[in-house]
Structure 1
């Protein structure tokens, strides 16, 4: 796994984050200078000894904006959930020289005020499977949707515009003729040519901005499954729910093929902002294999996943396309709904990554969806996950229609309990079965009834 040169992520223990450290957003948007010191003690000494000069910011902005608490410093606007989950305490540190980075990381991990430290690495969509441009065949386009009874589910629950789905990916081609209007998104990618050894960065990768334009096609493909307008594609599975795209992955050429790639800090910053914007579901069709981490590395995205779950956000992630039994993150984090892929015969796809953490599977082979040149037929768990995200949005809409809360735990429970069997018995590592959209809504209806009956 490629390390971002000279950059590391440092999480301080609760109560140890100094107030003078500005947020990354404050530095980019308002011209605030990054800090050149952290604690004035052992952390600073180690950083300067092993890495020379340093520049540091908090990775995440506070949920409470400046105009909501004028005159209060940014470091004091983080609430209890931000502090306890750790997002308020994640620092992004840039050092002058990273030739001694392993020694620096090892030394920082021994400091009492440090909760965890890891290099800022690249993650992306190296497992995004196959995408072939073309014009959709109507029967073939409807088949995976009908397989999971999505049309019937949309008849049961059309979706609520107040329920928002966040799409953390390569961005979206908002002008696509077959996508419903999107909510305003943003871009957190900041890469440069020195980052991606063996890869050639293309397009807009140098600075985060407010335009999540897709230069890969991966995010647009996921958006077509979630939010298509029904022109040449079946209507999007999330129905009338809103869709907010964030570009957390830039574009790179790998063997003449465009892939999505982004730093872990880019991804986490985009996720945190989506959560603070009020999304109920986040689709994450990207991942980092556990085998790419150092033995003492903590799994990536840990703080932002905890934060999302604490805010009641439903997290859905592609399991991976390695065809092995292994763990990718964020899919393998507790509380995340990990999704494998099946074909049209309800058999797990050979490429689908397996494991005990996989919750269920969804169609992931030859899925007709939106593409940068019109339409594409896409294969991979990247395109199975949006079907589950869409149904999660319908579940949230139905719960809201009944004025009942939908927790991440309850959503996972009804999805697993309502899944239909695989084509053959004895399947292991692909979850409880295959997504059944209508059955999931019916199971939620029954669960909400039982919760009302249990009230005193």
Structure 2
């Protein structure tokens, strides 16, 4: 922040003389918030540019919001303690680092609700994926749902002819879309329902307004995906103007920016350390939830007919410890590259926790033997994240919503979502969740790993009806990274969790560097382990709950009493163990109703 003026000022214009600047001290590891006031030229700099400048001067985990002349920045100082003049463009500088509670401070005994301390006694290890410093929404992307009564039917391949015969109405939103397309500022319009293409060819491009107002599905075939389109624009400024225009268009049911969703798991370091899991007794997580005892109980019913959907980075479906019933990864109409491989390994790890082969020699053990349906919702192309100094992988918003829709059309019993992001769901995402819950699908989602940043609310975990899962460690206490919040249902083991990883190489992200043209590009990959590894994160806690929910459903269905999602959530909470960190309370924002106990759940 201290060097922002010099970095953004035009090279051919010397700064005007000014009074001696106020001095300020930045301290190692402290997080600061400030307002940035930019001049007539600098105001056109993008937030990524400002974040990159701050990152280059010693700040990490940079978040820049706002637009035009006024921006708001949060960043952590990574250099040594430094006192320097404050840039004239900075104001309202605040040290937001948590302050440790004084020794001997009063701690209430057995309150009705214990609110989690969002600070942590130590720094969170760099091995935890975090959404901190990452943007909330996709740049240049809108999701639009047209009103059903305004959609017109045309068979695939005949839309252009139909549009010529019956032009779309001239309304402010559609007119604005046509204007931007003529100006070459609309990259593409993508339907939520994939358009089929004959003989493997790419789907024919149609005009943007036609793509928005015509559908290949007859009215009697309408479903949750009908009329939903993603519009990708070439600039963020155009996107905001189009958003405003479409919001006032009578043909449009809803339009919004598209929230970004991220991983909520460990970010592994170098590969090659260990590729063999410990002996089964060392799998502390299974012992803690009393997994072996539950499987021996008289009320135990295996989940062989329960379908659990894992929406994640993909899966190594050839892993010797995994049996995948269905794997969905193909999207022929997307511009971004998508292959079958689980490059990151996150989805393979989650799948192993839920359903790795049981008693398969010296290997990991899954919670249950369910039917696994894996949906790959990440493409293979990393995105520049200046605030983290890396190229990272985001959830692909089209693949994600298509997977949710597929779980409605081809019913599943449980969905595991070890992903999250700070932006509330758009209307389409929210509607899909409502439809899933109404259809009786139990949804488990990760609380997130931003505890040291005051536990921002993470979605989809905070969507009503979703079972939000926090993480505990070997000491049965909340981990240093697990988010706190009133929407949490239960906690589960999420530290040093051994599970499966792809048998082929891959990476979790790329380091960031600048190319000869001065633009950022991926540098060295951050490699992951092969075969097996122990990872941390609320991502790793969540599949414990998903697997246990599958077993609870199996028992209920066997007794001709299928539990609803609300009943599954209630049973998980009632059967959870009260741990010391709850202070004797029935509920805690760190643990929910307690730490998962499978034996109690099935009692």
Identify the TM-score tier after normalising by the shorter chain.
Answer: 0.7 to 0.9
Aligned partners of 1:165 and 1:241 also within 8 Å = yes
Question: Which residue number corresponds to residue 8 of structure 1?
Answer: 142
Separation of aligned partners in 2, 1:260 and 1:148? 32
- Structure 2 counterpart of 1:136, from 277, 286, 300: 277
Pick closer, same or farther for the CA change 1:138–1:189 going to 2, 3 Å.
Answer: farther
Shift in CA distance, 227/349, structure 1 to aligned 2, threshold 3 Å: same
Report the counterpart of residue 478 of structure 2 in structure 1: 348
Matches within 5 A, 1:431-450: 431-442=592-603
The answer to whether the aligner puts 1:249 opposite 2:406 as a matched pair is no
Q: 1:368 matched to which residue of 2? A: 498
Contact 1:123 1:262 in 2 (8 A): yes
Q: CA 1:359/1:32 → structure 2, altered by over 3 Å: closer, same or farther?
A: farther
Query: Cα distance, 1:364 vs. partner?
Result: 0.2
SS of residue matched to 1:222:
helix
Paired residue total: 399
Distance 1:35 1:235 in 2: 56
For residues 31-52 of structure 1, give each alpha carbon's deviation from its aligned partner in whole angstroms, at most 9, with x where no partner exists: 9889979953323112123454
Please name the residue that 1:382 is paired with: 539
Tell me the equivalent position of 1:92.
230
**Aligned-residue offset at 1:59:** 1.1
Residues 357/113 of structure 1: CA separation in 2 closer, same or farther (3 Å cut)? farther
1:341 counterpart SS class: strand
In the alignment, the residues of structure 2 paired with residue 21 and residue 94 of structure 1 have an alpha-carbon distance, to the nearest angstrom, of: 23
Q: Does 1:174 align with 2:317?
A: yes
Q: Does 1:417 align with 2:574?
A: yes
Please report how far the alpha carbon of residue 7 of structure 1 lies from its aligned counterpart in structure 2 after TM superposition: 3.6
Alignment of 1:255-404 (within 5 A): 260-290=393-423, 298=426, 301-323=429-451, 324-372=454-502, 373-404=530-561
Once residues 342 and 34 of structure 1 are traced to their aligned partners in structure 2, the CA distance between those partners, rounded to angstroms, is 59
2:405–2:432 CA contact under 8 A, matched in 1: yes
Q: Are 1:87 and 1:307, in contact at CA under 8 Å, matched by a contact in 2? A: no
Cα pair 1:58 1:90 within 8 Å, conserved: yes
Instruction: Return 101-110 or 332-341, whichever deviates more.
Output: 101-110
- Equivalent residue of 1:115, what SS? strand
Pair 1:188–1:61, CA change in 2 (3 A): closer
Give, in whole Å, the separation in 1 of the partners of 2:144 and 2:491. 35
Please tell me whether the aligned partners of residues 36 and 56 of structure 1 are also in contact (alpha carbons under 8 angstroms): no
Can you give the 5+ residue segments of structure 1 that lack an aligned partner in the other structure? 63-71, 193-204, 443-456
1:189-268 to structure 2, matched below 5 A, reads 205-207=336-338, 212-229=340-357, 230-237=360-367, 239-251=368-380, 252=382, 260-268=393-401
Larger Rg: 2
SS in structure 2 of the partner of residue 91 of structure 1: strand
Contact 1:168 1:247 in 2 (8 A): yes
Cα distance change of structure 1 residues 407 and 441 upon mapping to structure 2, 3 Å threshold = same
**Which stretch shifts more, 402-411 or 363-372?**
402-411
- Cα 1:243–1:139 shift into 2, 3 Å: closer
Shift of 1:185: 3.1
Query: In the alignment, which residue of structure 2 is the partner of 1:111?
Result: 249
Three-state SS of the structure 2 residue aligned to 1:309 is helix
User: Aligned equivalents of 1:420 and 1:152: distance in 2?
Assistant: 15
Q: Alpha carbon RMSD of aligned pairs, Å?
A: 3.3
Instruction: State the alpha-carbon separation in 2 of the partners of residues 172 and 306 from structure 1.
Output: 27
What is the DSSP-based 3-state SS (H/G/I as helix, E as strand, rest coil) of the residue aligned with 2:415? Answer: strand
- Whether the 8 Å contact between 2:174 and 2:246 is mirrored in structure 1 is no
Structure holding more helix per residue: 1
Alignment partner of 2:375: what SS?
strand
